[in-house]
């Protein structure tokens, strides 16, 4: 036995330890460009590492979750959201005997195509790009890993395995794409279903936390919510003397734990009933197998409606949203009217991609602070250059 664990040993450990319906590295779908396997990393471990080292991943630090970066140092951004989601995804995948590395790779990659200023920026680009092939951040994330990132002399993109790319196609792929996409199937890989659920658990809870921290939400409002009330009751008995901030944090933790526990138990029951014998069989099922129980699904929808009405549409958040929409819209208009203002890396793609798509790619790659600086430079005649 060698001191280090080889890729082949990792692959055999997966065969022995994962469920029959898990995605196995040894059976990973092909990459767009053929590569030799690595000595001690599986296909999905390499995908995870390639995502983490991508420029687009680093830029997530300065992309909005809800509060723009200059609002404060403690609020979530797109990077911290991604990391919290990845932690939850690994917990779910491990408990269900699925492939943790694939679940993590999909979760880490799922927001690489997000615009500056979160969904506000996405809405603007989606409207502007509607006559030119459309835009959404899931599609853009696949475009980033397949086309926009440049890390290899022989090809564009990160050249991820087909399983990881298939897991990122949350809403299908009924649009033109510069390279062949994995074949469509009724369901996402189970590990991608885990990533999708983990993403939802992460953003609901950290948005609650940020909203309470900022004072946009009040504890009294949350007592009508089933999930919050149950989580708060679970910890109140042992934390009567805790400071309010600690009580809030522990309630959020209990809420996450309750949702993840329910998802594990409900998903295990569905998997046992459906009894898929391979990962492909799981993808051919007529419904998702990784999901909450019906009672938690209803309670989750109650929480999401509450956040929509009381947080995302709060006047303070809406003010930031309107400013963001103006910045993104103005940048697109100025670049379209005067393409010479684009930097060389973007202007070089105008003919190849078409002006609208090249501009959308450029804006989508921006961080909040870069978009703000470009807006000031291009539209404020008194700005320093």
**For residue 357, is it within any domain?**
no
Task: Give the integer Cα–Cα distance in Å for 273 and 256.
Answer: 26
Task: Give the integer Cα–Cα distance in Å for 301 and 298.
Answer: 5
User: CATH code at 284?
Assistant: 1.10.3210.10
Task: Give the integer Cα–Cα distance in Å for 306 and 293.
Answer: 20
Task: Give the integer Cα–Cα distance in Å for 161 and 163.
Answer: 5
The predicted-structure confidence for 92-115, as pLDDT tens digits, reads as follows: 999 999 999 999 999 999 999 999
Going by C-beta distance under 8 Å and a sequence separation of 6 or more, which residues neighbour residue 350?
Answer: 339, 342, 358
**For residue 47, is it within any domain?**
yes
Give the chain's domain count.
Answer: 1
Q: Smallest Cα–Cα separation from 162: which of 189, 138, 135?
A: 189
86, 170, 263 from 112: Cα distances, Å: 14, 14, 26
Q: What are phi and psi of 77, to 5 degrees?
A: -115, -175
First to last CA, the chain: 62
Whether the Cβ atoms of residue 123 and residue 114 lie closer than 8 Å to each other: no
**For residue 262, is it within any domain?**
yes
**For residue 342, is it within any domain?**
no
Residues, the chain, total?
385
- Identify how many contiguous H helices and E strands the chain contains and give both numbers: 19, 0
Low-confidence ranges of the chain (pLDDT < 70): 1-2, 67-74, 171, 239-242, 381-385
- The mean pLDDT of the chain is 92
For 7, the token pair is 């890729």
DSSP lists the bridge partners of residue 64 as 77
The predicted-structure confidence for 348-383, as pLDDT tens digits, reads as follows: 899 999 999 999 999 999 999 999 999 999 997 655
Going by C-beta distance under 8 Å and a sequence separation of 6 or more, which residues neighbour residue 9?
Answer: none
* Residue appearing with tokens 């450029």: 362
**For residue 345, is it within any domain?**
no
> Any idea what DSSP says for residue 118?
H
**For residue 228, is it within any domain?**
yes
The predicted-structure confidence for 45-89, as pLDDT tens digits, reads as follows: 999 999 999 999 999 999 987 766 556 566 788 999 999 999 999
Structural domain of residue 301, as residue ranges?
A: 7-33+41-316
For 379, the token pair is 């539209």
Whether the Cβ atoms of residue 124 and residue 363 lie closer than 8 Å to each other: no
Within 10 Å of residue 183's Cβ, how many Cβ atoms? 10
Task: Give the integer Cα–Cα distance in Å for 206 and 33.
Answer: 38
**For residue 294, is it within any domain?**
yes
For 211, the token pair is 């909203």
**For residue 367, is it within any domain?**
no
Percent pLDDT > 70 in the chain is: 95
């Amino acid at each position: 036995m060698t001191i280090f664990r080889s890729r082949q040993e990792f692959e055999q450990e997966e065969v022995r330890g994962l469920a029959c319906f898990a995605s196995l590295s040894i059976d990973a779908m092909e990459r767009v460009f053929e590569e030799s396997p690595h000595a001690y990393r599986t296909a999905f471990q390499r995908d995870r590492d390639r995502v983490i080292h991508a420029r687009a991943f680093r830029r997530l630090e300065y992309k909005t979750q809800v509060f723009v970066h200059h609002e404060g140092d403690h609020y979530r951004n797109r990077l911290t959201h991604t990391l919290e989601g990845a932690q939850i995804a690994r917990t779910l995948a491990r408990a269900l005997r699925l492939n943790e590395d694939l679940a993590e790779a999909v979760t880490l990659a799922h927001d690489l195509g997000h615009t500056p200023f979160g969904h506000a920026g996405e809405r603007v680009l989606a409207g502007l790009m509607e006559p030119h092939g459309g835009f959404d951040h899931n599609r853009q994330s696949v475009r980033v890993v397949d086309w926009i990132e440049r890390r290899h002399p022989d090809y564009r993109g990160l050249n991820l395995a087909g399983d990881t790319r298939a897991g990122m196609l949350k809403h299908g792929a009924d649009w033109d794409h510069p390279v062949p996409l994995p074949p469509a199937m009724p369901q996402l890989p189970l590990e991608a279903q885990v990533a999708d659920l983990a993403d939802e658990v992460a953003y609901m809870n950290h948005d609650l936390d940020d909203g309470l921290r900022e004072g946009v939400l009040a504890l009294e409002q949350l007592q009508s919510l089933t999930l919050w009330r149950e989580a708060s009751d679970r910890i109140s008995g042992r934390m009567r003397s805790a400071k309010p901030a600690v009580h809030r944090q522990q309630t959020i933790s209990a809420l996450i734990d309750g949702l993840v526990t329910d998802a594990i138990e409900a998903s295990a029951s569905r998997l046992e009933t459906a009894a898929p014998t391979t990962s492909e069989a799981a993808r051919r099922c007529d419904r998702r197998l990784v999901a909450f129980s019906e009672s938690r699904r209803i309670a989750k929808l109650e929480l999401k409606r509450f956040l929509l009405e009381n947080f995302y549409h709060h006047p303070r958040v809406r003010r930031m949203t309107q400013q963001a929409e103006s910045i993104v819209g103005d940048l697109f208009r100025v670049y379209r009217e005067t393409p010479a203002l684009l930097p060389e890396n973007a202007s070089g793609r105008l003919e190849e991609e078409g002006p609208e798509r090249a501009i959308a790619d450029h804006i989508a790659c921006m961080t909040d602070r870069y978009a703000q600086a470009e807006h000031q430079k291009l539209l404020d005649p008194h700005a320093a250059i």
